[in-house]
Amino acid sequence: MSVTNETLLSRRQAAVARGVNQAHPIFAARALNDRIWDIDGNEYIDFTSGIAVLNTGHLHPDVVEAVQRQLGHFVHTCFAVLPYESYVAVCERINALAPGDGLKKTALFSTGSEAVESAVKIARAHTRRSGVIAFTGAYHGRTLMALAMTGKVAPYASGMGLMPGHVYRALYPDALNNIDVDAALGSIERIFRNDAAPEDIAAIIFEPVQGEGGIQVAPPGFVAKLRALCDREGIVLIADEVQSGAGRTGTFFAVEQMGATPDLLVFGKSVAGGLPLAGVTGHASVMDTVGPGGLGGTYAGNPLACAAALAVLDVMEREHILARARQVGEITRTELLAMQQRYPSIADVRGLGALIGVELRTPDGQPAKDLTSKLVMSARDEGLLLLAGGTHGNVLRMLAPLTVELRTLEAGLRILDRCFSTLCRPEPGRHD
């Protein structure tokens, strides 16, 4: 039997657990920079980057070469058993990139969830407290503690019972739903009054730009106010930049544009160009409160991933990826704002740099989840891969590699425009 999208889909359904989702019913055969080919030979423009992992594109030649070179030396020793230079070099590079004064230190992990949980462990050790405040719309991962902090029950926690305790939920600012900075800060003060005293809270964890939550950007003043509140109460402020980091927003960390510095920065995804690497960076005084053996893991900071990360960091400098993020963001935003004039279903176009979301609503102001799914499907049929997001599944996310060819970016946006014009034609009595 030949291997096709259709045959593989049925093999997948028989062999792979149902809980592992699949956004598109096609299977990858190969990819290059901003394009993917499926196993039926269809070509797609990639506006997903494997969920914001490929800021430097699929198979950047420098990343490929660095990994191949490392394969000629060794693949694994476990850094906790026999360390190697590339791990140390990645930490040095990230320490230098992290905003704020003073001596920084970094610990490496494999996944964002693992890094997020490690940041909480560091905050707990530092404060000798155990509570955490996370936000509505947050996404911090699927492992149990990360899931407890993730602000969306279905589908992530459906049927799994209650998540680990001592996580309290504050409101993330959301202009479209009338939650301003004061309301968000007020919701933290409410937690202090109703649920947990500040002296029991180890950390406040937030995304400077919520990714899975539908590209919600922290408004001006929010991070500075969080910073002041954490200083007042002795709470560790953790910025989860797993999705917003590694240059996507036009600065290496999004929080650099937000007027205040967190104690701990969590990074992952694009930092290693597709190899699994994540980490936590912060002041040495905070990072070093965990004793030897308290952080790490068998594969944490794997040599192939470290080699890839060093290549990615070089590419970011040499190819001016931060400026490129701003350019890609500007082009995308301009086109989307023009589409918003034509298609009333587009309720909002928002983002920072090249991390951009398009929120879709029905004429009566409800989240247009069906329309969003239809757009994702019809764009795929036209050769453009998109991802939906948002608490209500009604936000299209623009996540093209930052190395996207500008004509490919424009071609992708034209496909999206065509799909809008087909699906959003005014039809009497039918809007979504």
> What residues make contact with ligand PMP under the rule CB under 6 A?
51, 111-113, 116, 139-141, 207, 211-212, 240, 242-243, 268
Nearer to ligand PMP, 141 or 390 (CB): 141
Task: Annotate 19-29 with b (16+ C-beta within 10 A) or e (fewer).
Answer: eeeeebebbee
256: number of Cβ within 10 Å: 19
Supply the minimum distance, in Å, between the C-beta of residue 89 and ligand PMP. Answer: 22
Rounded distance between C-alpha atoms, residue 199 and residue 336, angstroms: 45
Rounded distance between C-alpha atoms, residue 423 and residue 421, angstroms: 6
Q: Are 318 and 290 in contact (CB under 8 A)?
A: no
Give the distance, in angstroms, between the CA of residue 399 and the centroid of all CA atoms in the same chain: 10
Q: What is the DSSP string of 104-119?
A: EEEEEESSHHHHHHHH
Rounded distance between C-alpha atoms, residue 381 and residue 400, angstroms: 18
Q: Are 286 and 257 in contact (CB under 8 A)?
A: no
Nearer to ligand PMP, 198 or 214 (CB): 214
Rg (CA), the chain: 21
CB-closest chain residue to ligand PMP: 112
Nearer to ligand PMP, 268 or 401 (CB): 268
At 27, give phi and psi (nearest 5°). Answer: -125, 135
Nearer to ligand PMP, 212 or 335 (CB): 212
Rounded distance between C-alpha atoms, residue 135 and residue 116, angstroms: 14
Nearer to ligand PMP, 111 or 345 (CB): 111
Nearer to ligand PMP, 191 or 399 (CB): 399
Nearest to 115 by CA among 107, 123, 103: 107
Supply the minimum distance, in Å, between the C-beta of residue 363 and ligand PMP. Answer: 31
Supply the minimum distance, in Å, between the C-beta of residue 432 and ligand PMP. Answer: 27
Supply the minimum distance, in Å, between the C-beta of residue 20 and ligand PMP. Answer: 12
Nearest to 398 by CA among 318, 341, 334: 334
Supply the minimum distance, in Å, between the C-beta of residue 414 and ligand PMP. Answer: 28
Supply the minimum distance, in Å, between the C-beta of residue 216 and ligand PMP. Answer: 11
Nearer to ligand PMP, 38 or 207 (CB): 207
Supply the minimum distance, in Å, between the C-beta of residue 114 and ligand PMP. Answer: 7
Q: Position 156: which residue type? A: Y
Q: Extract the tokens encoding 167.
A: 């996580």
Supply the minimum distance, in Å, between the C-beta of residue 110 and ligand PMP. Answer: 8
Nearer to ligand PMP, 112 or 401 (CB): 112
